[in-house]
A = this chain, B = another copy of it.
Amino acid sequence: MDKTYIFGHKSPDTDTVTSSLVMCELEHKLGNENAVACRLGSLNKETEYVLNYLDIEAPELIESLEEGSDVILVDHNSPSESIDNLENMNIKKVVDHHKIALETSYPLFYRAEAVGCTETILFKLFNENNVEIEAKIAQLMLSAIISDTLLLKSPTTTEDDKIAVEKLAEIAGIDYEEYGLEMLKAGTDLSSFTIDEILALDAKQIDFKDVKSIVNQVNTASIPDVLEMKDDLEAGIEKIIEKENLDLFMLLITDIVNSNSQVIVLGKDAALVEKAYGVELKDNTALLEGVVSRKKQVVPIMTENA
Protein backbone atom coordinates (compact mmCIF):
# COMPACT_ATOMS: atom_id res chain seq x y z
CA MET A 1 0.00 0.00 0.00
CA ASP A 2 1.29 3.47 -0.87
CA LYS A 3 2.39 5.77 1.88
CA THR A 4 0.68 9.03 2.72
CA TYR A 5 3.32 11.64 3.49
CA ILE A 6 2.24 14.30 5.98
CA PHE A 7 4.28 17.48 6.24
CA GLY A 8 4.14 21.16 7.09
CA HIS A 9 5.98 24.09 5.56
CA LYS A 10 9.64 24.60 4.84
CA SER A 11 11.66 26.13 7.68
CA PRO A 12 9.51 24.07 10.04
CA ASP A 13 8.34 25.56 13.32
CA THR A 14 6.66 23.92 16.29
CA ASP A 15 3.16 24.03 14.77
CA THR A 16 4.31 22.52 11.49
CA VAL A 17 6.30 19.72 13.13
CA THR A 18 3.80 18.79 15.81
CA SER A 19 0.91 19.02 13.35
CA SER A 20 2.52 16.43 11.09
CA LEU A 21 2.95 14.13 14.09
CA VAL A 22 -0.56 14.73 15.41
CA MET A 23 -2.23 14.46 12.00
CA CYS A 24 -0.34 11.20 11.50
CA GLU A 25 -1.70 9.92 14.80
CA LEU A 26 -5.22 10.88 13.69
CA GLU A 27 -4.81 9.15 10.32
CA HIS A 28 -3.58 6.00 12.06
CA LYS A 29 -6.52 6.08 14.45
CA LEU A 30 -8.89 6.53 11.50
CA GLY A 31 -7.43 3.49 9.78
CA ASN A 32 -4.83 4.94 7.40
CA GLU A 33 -1.86 2.95 8.64
CA ASN A 34 0.32 4.11 5.76
CA ALA A 35 0.48 7.68 7.00
CA VAL A 36 4.00 8.89 7.80
CA ALA A 37 4.90 12.13 9.58
CA CYS A 38 7.57 14.07 7.69
CA ARG A 39 9.30 17.46 7.72
CA LEU A 40 10.99 19.58 5.08
CA GLY A 41 13.86 20.99 7.15
CA SER A 42 15.78 21.09 10.42
CA LEU A 43 14.07 21.47 13.77
CA ASN A 44 14.30 24.79 15.54
CA LYS A 45 15.39 25.04 19.18
CA GLU A 46 11.86 25.41 20.44
CA THR A 47 10.63 22.31 18.66
CA GLU A 48 13.71 20.39 19.81
CA TYR A 49 12.83 21.38 23.36
CA VAL A 50 9.29 20.07 22.93
CA LEU A 51 10.28 16.74 21.38
CA ASN A 52 13.05 16.20 23.96
CA TYR A 53 10.68 17.04 26.79
CA LEU A 54 8.15 14.50 25.55
CA ASP A 55 10.75 11.99 24.33
CA ILE A 56 9.13 11.86 20.91
CA GLU A 57 11.08 11.20 17.73
CA ALA A 58 11.13 13.94 15.10
CA PRO A 59 9.21 13.37 11.86
CA GLU A 60 11.25 11.93 9.01
CA LEU A 61 13.28 14.53 7.08
CA ILE A 62 12.41 14.42 3.37
CA GLU A 63 13.75 16.47 0.51
CA SER A 64 11.69 15.26 -2.40
CA LEU A 65 8.97 12.77 -3.26
CA GLU A 66 8.13 10.81 -6.35
CA GLU A 67 5.54 12.22 -8.70
CA GLY A 68 2.03 11.13 -7.82
CA SER A 69 2.76 10.54 -4.13
CA ASP A 70 -0.16 10.88 -1.74
CA VAL A 71 0.43 13.80 0.57
CA ILE A 72 -1.36 15.63 3.38
CA LEU A 73 -0.42 19.26 3.96
CA VAL A 74 -0.57 20.67 7.45
CA ASP A 75 0.02 24.26 8.59
CA HIS A 76 0.49 25.53 5.03
CA ASN A 77 -1.07 25.32 1.61
CA SER A 78 1.07 27.59 -0.53
CA PRO A 79 3.20 25.70 -3.08
CA SER A 80 6.04 28.16 -2.45
CA GLU A 81 6.30 26.97 1.16
CA SER A 82 5.82 23.30 0.35
CA ILE A 83 7.75 20.43 -1.15
CA ASP A 84 9.17 21.05 -4.60
CA ASN A 85 6.88 20.01 -7.46
CA LEU A 86 3.82 19.97 -5.22
CA GLU A 87 1.78 20.28 -8.42
CA ASN A 88 2.75 16.69 -9.25
CA MET A 89 1.64 15.30 -5.89
CA ASN A 90 -1.76 13.89 -5.11
CA ILE A 91 -2.92 16.13 -2.28
CA LYS A 92 -5.38 14.12 -0.18
CA LYS A 93 -6.00 16.60 2.59
CA VAL A 94 -5.07 20.04 3.85
CA VAL A 95 -5.41 21.15 7.47
CA ASP A 96 -4.31 24.74 7.85
CA HIS A 97 -4.94 28.17 9.31
CA HIS A 98 -3.41 30.40 6.63
CA LYS A 99 -4.79 32.31 3.67
CA ILE A 100 -5.65 30.24 0.61
CA ALA A 101 -2.86 30.09 -1.97
CA LEU A 102 -3.38 26.69 -3.53
CA GLU A 103 -5.03 25.77 -6.79
CA THR A 104 -5.99 22.20 -7.57
CA SER A 105 -7.57 20.43 -10.52
CA TYR A 106 -9.48 18.06 -8.25
CA PRO A 107 -11.61 18.30 -5.11
CA LEU A 108 -9.99 17.35 -1.82
CA PHE A 109 -10.45 17.48 1.93
CA TYR A 110 -9.62 21.04 2.90
CA ARG A 111 -10.05 22.20 6.43
CA ALA A 112 -8.98 25.68 7.36
CA GLU A 113 -10.11 28.03 10.07
CA ALA A 114 -8.99 31.51 11.01
CA VAL A 115 -7.61 30.36 14.35
CA GLY A 116 -4.20 30.89 15.91
CA CYS A 117 -2.77 27.46 15.27
CA THR A 118 -3.26 24.38 13.12
CA GLU A 119 -3.36 22.25 16.26
CA THR A 120 -6.55 23.99 17.36
CA ILE A 121 -8.20 22.60 14.24
CA LEU A 122 -6.66 19.17 14.80
CA PHE A 123 -8.04 19.28 18.34
CA LYS A 124 -11.49 19.72 16.79
CA LEU A 125 -10.90 16.93 14.27
CA PHE A 126 -10.03 14.50 17.07
CA ASN A 127 -13.22 15.45 18.86
CA GLU A 128 -15.42 15.35 15.76
CA ASN A 129 -14.12 11.87 14.97
CA ASN A 130 -14.44 10.73 18.58
CA VAL A 131 -10.75 9.88 18.76
CA GLU A 132 -9.28 10.03 22.26
CA ILE A 133 -6.34 12.40 22.72
CA GLU A 134 -3.49 10.81 24.67
CA ALA A 135 -1.49 12.90 27.15
CA LYS A 136 1.62 13.21 24.99
CA ILE A 137 -0.40 14.12 21.90
CA ALA A 138 -2.22 16.72 23.98
CA GLN A 139 1.06 18.28 25.03
CA LEU A 140 2.30 18.35 21.42
CA MET A 141 -0.85 20.21 20.41
CA LEU A 142 -0.61 22.53 23.38
CA SER A 143 3.03 23.35 22.61
CA ALA A 144 2.13 24.46 19.10
CA ILE A 145 -0.75 26.65 20.22
CA ILE A 146 1.44 28.32 22.82
CA SER A 147 4.15 28.79 20.20
CA ASP A 148 1.91 30.28 17.52
CA THR A 149 -0.06 32.51 19.90
CA LEU A 150 2.85 33.44 22.17
CA LEU A 151 1.05 32.06 25.20
CA LEU A 152 -2.37 33.22 23.94
CA LYS A 153 -1.20 36.85 23.76
CA SER A 154 -0.83 37.29 20.00
CA PRO A 155 -3.72 39.01 18.16
CA THR A 156 -4.12 35.81 16.16
CA THR A 157 -5.45 34.14 19.32
CA THR A 158 -9.12 33.14 19.14
CA GLU A 159 -11.60 31.82 21.66
CA ASP A 160 -11.17 28.38 20.08
CA ASP A 161 -7.42 28.44 20.79
CA LYS A 162 -8.06 29.30 24.43
CA ILE A 163 -10.62 26.52 24.82
CA ALA A 164 -8.24 24.03 23.21
CA VAL A 165 -5.33 25.05 25.46
CA GLU A 166 -7.45 24.70 28.57
CA LYS A 167 -8.72 21.24 27.67
CA LEU A 168 -5.34 20.04 26.40
CA ALA A 169 -3.55 21.23 29.55
CA GLU A 170 -6.03 19.21 31.56
CA ILE A 171 -5.39 16.08 29.48
CA ALA A 172 -1.62 16.61 29.56
CA GLY A 173 -1.77 17.36 33.29
CA ILE A 174 0.55 20.36 33.15
CA ASP A 175 0.64 24.06 34.10
CA TYR A 176 0.68 25.40 30.56
CA GLU A 177 1.88 28.89 31.47
CA GLU A 178 4.95 27.63 33.26
CA TYR A 179 5.74 25.02 30.62
CA GLY A 180 4.97 27.48 27.81
CA LEU A 181 7.34 30.19 29.00
CA GLU A 182 10.17 27.68 29.33
CA MET A 183 9.43 26.39 25.86
CA LEU A 184 9.32 29.88 24.32
CA LYS A 185 12.58 30.83 26.02
CA ALA A 186 14.26 27.70 24.70
CA GLY A 187 13.23 28.88 21.26
CA THR A 188 14.92 32.26 21.61
CA ASP A 189 18.39 30.82 22.16
CA LEU A 190 20.35 31.90 19.08
CA SER A 191 23.81 31.16 20.47
CA SER A 192 24.52 28.11 18.38
CA PHE A 193 23.44 29.62 15.05
CA THR A 194 25.44 31.32 12.35
CA ILE A 195 24.02 34.53 10.89
CA ASP A 196 22.90 32.67 7.77
CA GLU A 197 21.10 30.11 9.91
CA ILE A 198 19.32 32.80 11.92
CA LEU A 199 18.15 34.38 8.67
CA ALA A 200 16.68 31.07 7.52
CA LEU A 201 15.11 29.98 10.82
CA ASP A 202 11.56 31.15 10.17
CA ALA A 203 11.79 32.82 6.77
CA LYS A 204 8.69 32.98 4.60
CA GLN A 205 8.70 34.10 1.04
CA ILE A 206 5.66 36.32 0.59
CA ASP A 207 4.84 38.53 -2.37
CA PHE A 208 3.06 41.73 -1.41
CA LYS A 209 1.37 42.17 -4.77
CA ASP A 210 4.40 42.72 -7.04
CA VAL A 211 6.88 43.22 -4.24
CA LYS A 212 8.90 40.02 -3.99
CA SER A 213 9.73 39.67 -0.32
CA ILE A 214 10.97 37.48 2.47
CA VAL A 215 9.68 38.08 5.97
CA ASN A 216 11.71 36.43 8.68
CA GLN A 217 10.76 36.33 12.34
CA VAL A 218 13.01 35.67 15.33
CA ASN A 219 11.65 35.54 18.86
CA THR A 220 13.65 36.91 21.75
CA ALA A 221 13.35 37.88 25.38
CA SER A 222 15.69 40.83 24.72
CA ILE A 223 15.71 42.90 21.52
CA PRO A 224 19.04 44.65 22.36
CA ASP A 225 20.78 41.26 22.55
CA VAL A 226 19.77 40.53 18.98
CA LEU A 227 20.60 44.04 17.75
CA GLU A 228 24.19 43.46 18.81
CA MET A 229 24.41 41.33 15.66
CA LYS A 230 22.77 44.00 13.48
CA ASP A 231 25.70 44.68 11.15
CA ASP A 232 26.27 40.99 10.49
CA LEU A 233 22.52 40.38 10.02
CA GLU A 234 22.33 43.20 7.46
CA ALA A 235 25.30 41.81 5.54
CA GLY A 236 23.58 38.42 5.47
CA ILE A 237 20.29 39.93 4.35
CA GLU A 238 22.00 41.80 1.51
CA LYS A 239 23.39 38.51 0.25
CA ILE A 240 19.94 36.88 0.30
CA ILE A 241 18.35 39.87 -1.47
CA GLU A 242 20.89 39.58 -4.25
CA LYS A 243 20.70 35.81 -4.53
CA GLU A 244 16.89 35.64 -4.51
CA ASN A 245 16.46 38.88 -6.46
CA LEU A 246 14.17 40.27 -3.75
CA ASP A 247 12.54 43.69 -3.56
CA LEU A 248 12.25 43.57 0.20
CA PHE A 249 13.50 41.67 3.24
CA MET A 250 11.92 42.18 6.67
CA LEU A 251 13.48 40.68 9.76
CA LEU A 252 11.05 40.87 12.67
CA ILE A 253 12.78 40.58 16.04
CA THR A 254 9.84 39.85 18.28
CA ASP A 255 9.97 40.49 22.02
CA ILE A 256 7.85 37.66 23.42
CA VAL A 257 7.68 39.23 26.88
CA ASN A 258 6.56 42.75 25.90
CA SER A 259 4.82 41.88 22.60
CA ASN A 260 6.63 44.27 20.24
CA SER A 261 8.81 43.75 17.20
CA GLN A 262 11.94 45.55 16.14
CA VAL A 263 12.12 45.26 12.37
CA ILE A 264 15.22 45.39 10.19
CA VAL A 265 14.31 46.25 6.62
CA LEU A 266 16.45 46.12 3.50
CA GLY A 267 15.74 46.09 -0.22
CA LYS A 268 14.67 48.67 -2.80
CA ASP A 269 11.08 48.68 -1.50
CA ALA A 270 12.02 49.28 2.15
CA ALA A 271 9.92 52.46 2.17
CA LEU A 272 6.82 50.27 1.93
CA VAL A 273 7.31 49.40 5.61
CA GLU A 274 7.45 53.10 6.51
CA LYS A 275 4.24 53.71 4.58
CA ALA A 276 2.44 50.66 5.98
CA TYR A 277 3.25 51.31 9.65
CA GLY A 278 3.74 55.08 9.68
CA VAL A 279 7.25 54.71 11.04
CA GLU A 280 10.60 56.09 9.97
CA LEU A 281 13.41 53.66 9.41
CA LYS A 282 16.64 54.81 11.03
CA ASP A 283 19.70 52.76 10.07
CA ASN A 284 17.25 50.38 8.38
CA THR A 285 15.32 49.64 11.56
CA ALA A 286 12.22 50.70 13.50
CA LEU A 287 10.12 49.49 16.42
CA LEU A 288 6.68 48.23 15.44
CA GLU A 289 4.63 48.67 18.62
CA GLY A 290 2.37 45.73 19.39
CA VAL A 291 3.29 43.83 16.24
CA VAL A 292 3.93 40.17 16.96
CA SER A 293 1.99 38.34 14.25
CA ARG A 294 3.39 38.07 10.74
CA LYS A 295 0.13 36.63 9.47
CA LYS A 296 -2.22 39.15 11.04
CA GLN A 297 -0.12 42.27 11.46
CA VAL A 298 2.28 42.09 8.53
CA VAL A 299 0.86 40.25 5.52
CA PRO A 300 -2.50 42.08 5.19
CA ILE A 301 -1.10 45.55 6.01
CA MET A 302 1.88 45.21 3.68
CA THR A 303 -0.31 43.80 0.90
CA GLU A 304 -2.77 46.65 1.27
CA ASN A 305 -0.03 49.25 1.02
CA ALA A 306 1.97 47.59 -1.76
Task: Give CA–CA (A17, B257) in the complex, Å.
Answer: 50
Interface stretch, picked from A97-105, A131-139, A224-232, A258-266, is A97-105
The answer, yes or no, to whether A28 is at the interface (CB within 8 Å) is no
The answer, yes or no, to whether A299 is at the interface (CB within 8 Å) is yes
Q: Chain A interface residue count: which class?
A: 20 to 34
Instruction: Give the Cβ gap from A204 to chain B, nearest Cβ, in Å.
Output: 14
Interface string of A122-149 (1 = CB under 8 A from B): 0010001000000000000000000000
Answer whether A114 and B105 are a contact pair too, CB < 8 Å, given A100-B100, A128-B128. Answer: no
State the majority secondary structure of interface residues on A.
loop
Contact between chains at B110 and A106 (CB < 8 Å): no
Within 8 A of B (CB), among A91-117: 97-114
Query: Which residues on B sit within 8 Å (CB–CB) of A114?
Result: 106-109
Query: Which residues on B sit within 8 Å (CB–CB) of A110?
Result: 100, 110-113
Instruction: Give the Cβ gap from A97 to chain B, nearest Cβ, in Å.
Output: 6
Task: Give CA–CA (A61, B187) in the complex, Å.
Answer: 53
Q: Of B101, B105, B112, B295, which one neighbours A303 at CB under 8 angstroms?
A: B105
Interface string of A279-306 (1 = CB under 8 A from B): 0000000000000000100011001000
Answer whether A103 and B104 are a contact pair too, CB < 8 Å, given A109-B112, A109-B113, A110-B110. Answer: no
A–B complex contacts, Cβ < 8 Å, 30 sampled: A98-B107, A99-B103, A99-B105, A99-B106, A99-B108, A100-B100, A100-B102, A100-B103, A100-B104, A100-B108, A103-B103, A105-B300, A105-B303, A106-B114, A106-B299, A106-B300, A107-B112, A107-B113, A107-B114, A107-B295, A108-B112, A108-B113, A108-B114, A109-B112, A110-B110, A110-B111, A110-B112, A111-B112, A124-B128, A128-B128
